[in-house]
């Protein structure tokens, strides 16, 4: 059911509940009032007739007493007096009827007016009361009032009958007016509620439209409803929700893109050595070759096989790092530095380089093995970037905020600005052919370092200038 229909129905029901019974009650009251008035006026009218009859009787008695043969006023005289008197009193809509105690009709308007009655229970009048009844005769409604009158010890029953159809007709008229009025008001109500609900529903429709667009996948859509009411509030909250959903969706998208890129890169890194291994092996078994080609090909097969092996180990490390919980223990950085320097001496000697250590006595919570991997990767990178006879600086200190900083600084070739944001991505190599030539870099070192830093709740910062060198800092937050 549409909103305007609901508003209309509710309003209509409320209206009908209050308006119709109230109107009916009013009509009924006014009808009762009119009816009572008719009855009262009927009774007093009848009284008037009764009194007139009595005063006529008095006149008749006076008349009789003045005549010589005063034999007194008898019942026949009274009967005829009643007839002559009442005959002259034919009023519109008023009928009179007199019967004596033997139910003999003395006078009646009824016969002329075709009113025939069989059962007239109102005539059983308790001695001094007035009886009345309302009765439908034919299409009309009549008020019957009966009363006892005593004229010279003669008992009569005087009936006063009045046509009160108009009172009933009046009520019918009012009722039919009520129905018409009701219909008219309902029609007006429809128009009013449609206009009103259109006004109310307009922002809701806007909301619906926007939600539909958002549901269709366009999460950057916003609801443009600016009102201070509940709908405005709903729109506002809805927008907040849409922002949140959009953020989440973008985040998911980014994660899945990262994953896809990782897989693409991994596939590339796996396929390239495989291409060589399979290719050289195939070449050697299907072609005639000389000694040089033979040795070269086998060397390539060996190197690429080694490369695959290394890649597997690195990947394993990365996967393990992402999965496992590590127990961190307090450890001294300067001790670690000395150990790591020792293991790098052969590599440093090849390029005739020096690794200078400058360390404050600071301890951090760490997993020593992981920290070794991290340092080894950073120093390895520094050595690769450096020229012969260069120096690498390895230090640890507290900065102005007394955070512990571990720093590896080289004066090597540096990283181009474009690449600096990408260096932590798996498989990223600033110059791949150089990296390969320089001892088989995989582009996984810094991603590993990033994972290790994450485990230590530390942040990795990188600063580099092309041709001047690179500084990598590990900032501990604890």
Partner 1 sequence: MIKILVVEDDIAVANLIKLNLNTANYESSIVFNGEEALSVIESDRFDLILLDVMLPKVDGFTLFEKIKPLGIPVIFLTAKSSVTDKVYGLKAGVDDYITKPFEGIELLARIENVLRHYNKKSNIINFKDTEVYLQEMKVKKNGEIIELTLKEFELLVFLVQNKNIVLTREKIIEKIWGYDYVGETRTIDNHIQKLRKKLGWKDEIKTVFKLGYRLEE
Residues 85 and 53 sit within 8 Å (Cβ to Cβ): yes
Determine if 311 is a binding residue for partner 1 (CB under 8 A). Answer: no
Determine if 414 is a binding residue for partner 1 (CB under 8 A). Answer: no
Strand partners, 139: none
Residues 169 and 175 sit within 8 Å (Cβ to Cβ): no
Determine if 283 is a binding residue for partner 1 (CB under 8 A). Answer: yes
Smallest distance, Å, CB 219 to partner 1? 23
CB nearer to partner 1: give 42 or 426.
426
Determine if 176 is a binding residue for partner 1 (CB under 8 A). Answer: no
Task: Report the interhelical angle of 75-87 vs 3-66 (nearest 10°).
Answer: 130
Determine if 432 is a binding residue for partner 1 (CB under 8 A). Answer: yes
Specify the stretch interacting with partner 1 by CB under 8 A; choose among 99-107, 126-134, 270-278, 346-354.
Answer: 270-278
Determine if 66 is a binding residue for partner 1 (CB under 8 A). Answer: no
Residues 129 and 193 sit within 8 Å (Cβ to Cβ): no
Name every residue whose Cβ is closer than 8 Å to that of residue 104 and which is 6 or more positions away in sequence: none
CB nearer to partner 1: give 40 or 268.
268
Smallest distance, Å, CB 261 to partner 1? 11
What does DSSP say about strands 94-100 and 469-476: parallel, antiparallel, or unpaired? unpaired
Specify the stretch interacting with partner 1 by CB under 8 A; choose among 190-198, 269-277, 374-382, 452-460.
Answer: 269-277
Determine if 259 is a binding residue for partner 1 (CB under 8 A). Answer: no
Specify the stretch interacting with partner 1 by CB under 8 A; choose among 3-11, 105-113, 280-288, 337-345.
Answer: 280-288
Residues 157 and 146 sit within 8 Å (Cβ to Cβ): yes
CB nearer to partner 1: give 103 or 286.
286
Q: Out of 437, 454, 465, 468, point to the residue binding partner 1 (CB under 8 A).
A: 437
User: What tokens does 90 get?
Assistant: 């034919």
Q: Out of 23, 154, 182, 272, point to the residue binding partner 1 (CB under 8 A).
A: 272
Determine if 155 is a binding residue for partner 1 (CB under 8 A). Answer: no
Determine if 233 is a binding residue for partner 1 (CB under 8 A). Answer: no
Size of the site for partner 1 (CB under 8 A): 31
CB nearer to partner 1: give 329 or 434.
434
Name every residue whose Cβ is closer than 8 Å to that of residue 1 and which is 6 or more positions away in sequence: 9
Specify the stretch interacting with partner 1 by CB under 8 A; choose among 208-216, 283-291, 404-412, 451-459.
Answer: 283-291
3-state helix, strand, coil in the chain (%, to 5): 60, 20, 25
User: What tokens does 151 get?
Assistant: 């004229």
User: What tokens does 273 get?
Assistant: 């050595």
Question: DSSP H helical segments within 67-164, as ranges?
Answer: 75-87
Q: Which residue has the tokens 């400058």?
A: 358
Question: DSSP H helical segments within 287-429, as ranges?
Answer: 291-323, 333-350, 368-385
* Helices (H) then strands (E): counts for the chain: 9, 12
Determine if 10 is a binding residue for partner 1 (CB under 8 A). Answer: no
Determine if 41 is a binding residue for partner 1 (CB under 8 A). Answer: no
How many whole angstroms separate alpha carbon 47 and alpha carbon 44? 5
Specify the stretch interacting with partner 1 by CB under 8 A; choose among 73-81, 123-131, 294-302, 324-332.
Answer: 294-302
CB nearer to partner 1: give 208 or 437.
437
Determine if 297 is a binding residue for partner 1 (CB under 8 A). Answer: yes
How many whole angstroms separate alpha carbon 153 and alpha carbon 135? 31
- Name the site residues for partner 1 (rule: CB under 8 A): 264, 267-268, 270-276, 278-280, 282-283, 285-288, 293, 296-297, 300, 303-304, 429, 431-433, 436-437
């Amino acid at each position: 059911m549409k909103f305007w229909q609901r508003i209309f129905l509710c309003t209509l029901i409320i209206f009908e509940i209050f308006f119709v019974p109230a109107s009916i009650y009013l009509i009924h009251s006014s009808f009762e009032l009119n009816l009572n008035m008719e009855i009262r006026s009927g009774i007093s009218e009848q009284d008037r007739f009764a009194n007139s009859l009595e005063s006529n009787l008095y006149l008749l008695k006076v008349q009789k007493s003045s005549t010589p043969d005063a034999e007194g006023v008898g019942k026949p005289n009274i009967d005829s007096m009643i007839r002559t008197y009442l005959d002259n009193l034919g009023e519109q809509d008023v009928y009179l009827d007199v019967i004596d105690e033997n139910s003999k009709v003395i006078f009646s308007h009824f016969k002329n007016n075709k009113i025939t009655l069989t059962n007239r229970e109102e005539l059983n009048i308790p001695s001094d009361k007035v009886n009345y009844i309302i009765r439908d005769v034919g299409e009309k409604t009549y008020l019957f009032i009966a009363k006892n009158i005593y004229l010279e010890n003669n008992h009569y029953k005087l009936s006063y009958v009045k046509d009160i159809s108009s009172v009933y007709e009046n009520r019918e008229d009012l009722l039919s007016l009520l129905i018409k009025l009701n219909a008219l008001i309902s029609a007006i109500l429809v128009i009013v509620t449609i206009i009103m609900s259109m006004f109310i529903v307009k922002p809701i429709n806007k909301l619906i439209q926007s939600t539909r667009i958002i549901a269709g996948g366009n999460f950057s859509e916003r609801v443009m409803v600016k009102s201070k009411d509940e709908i405005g509030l709903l729109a506002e909250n809805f927008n907040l929700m849409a922002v949140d959903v959009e953020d989440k969706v973008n985040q998911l998208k980014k994660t899945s893109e990262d994953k896809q890129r990782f897989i693409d890169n991994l596939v590339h890194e796996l396929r390239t050595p495989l291409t060589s291994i399979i290719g050289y092996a195939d070449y050697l078994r299907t072609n005639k070759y000389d000694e040089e080609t033979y040795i070269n090909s086998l060397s390539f097969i060996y190197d690429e096989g080694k490369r695959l092996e290394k890649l597997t180990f690195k990947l394993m490390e990365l996967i393990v790092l992402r999965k496992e919980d590590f127990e961190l223990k307090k450890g001294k950085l300067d001790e670690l530095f000395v150990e790591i320097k020792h293991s790098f001496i052969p590599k440093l000697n090849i390029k005739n380089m020096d690794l200078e250590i400058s360390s404050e006595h600071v301890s951090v919570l760490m997993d020593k093995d992981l920290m070794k991997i991290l340092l080894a990767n950073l120093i390895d990178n520094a050595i690769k970037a450096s020229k012969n006879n260069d120096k690498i600086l390895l230090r640890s200190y507290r900065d102005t905020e007394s955070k512990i900083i571990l720093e590896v600084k080289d004066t090597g070739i540096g990283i181009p600005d474009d690449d600096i944001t990408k260096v932590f991505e798996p498989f990223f190599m600033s110059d791949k052919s150089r990296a390969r030539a320089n001892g088989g870099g995989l582009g996984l070192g810094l991603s590993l370092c990033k994972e290790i830093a994450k485990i230590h709740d530390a942040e990795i910062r990188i600063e580099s200038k092309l041709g001047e060198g690179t500084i990598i800092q590990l900032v501990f937050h604890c």
